[in-house]
Amino acid sequence: MGSWIWVIVIGFLAGLVARFFASDPRNPSGCLATTLLGVIGAAVFTWIGQQLGLYAEGARAGFIGSVVGAMIVLAAWQTLTGRR
């Protein structure tokens, strides 16, 4: 149970930092969206890191990796929503 709380807290903080650096009015906003952004970003960067050999099997991305992953997710979001 305690590990899930840390995932949510770190995900929220990583989402906040990513939204700060990649500010765009089309970015998803709100506490839940920010938390999901950080958690999904951590999962994305963990997978990328494992594919590149940066992380061992079962290892997770740290805070900086989570922020980088969240920024990758935001870039994908901006690409999918397109310019209007």
Q: What integer is the mean pLDDT of 12-21?
A: 87
**Cβ contact 8:39 at 8 Å:** yes
Cβ contacts of 13 within 8 Å, gap of 6 or more: 38, 63
Look-up: residue for tokens 């870039």? 75
Instruction: Note the pTM of the prediction, 2 decimals.
Output: 0.79
Exposure string over 2-39, b if 16+ CB within 10 A, otherwise e: eeeeebeebbbbbbbbbbeebeeeebeeeeeebbbbbb
**Cβ contact 60:40 at 8 Å:** no
Least confident of 1-10, 12-21, 22-31, 49-58: 22-31
Range of the domain at 40: 2-81
Q: What is the pLDDT of residue 84?
A: 53
In angstroms, how far apart are the furthest CA atoms of the chain?
43
The count of domains in the chain is 1
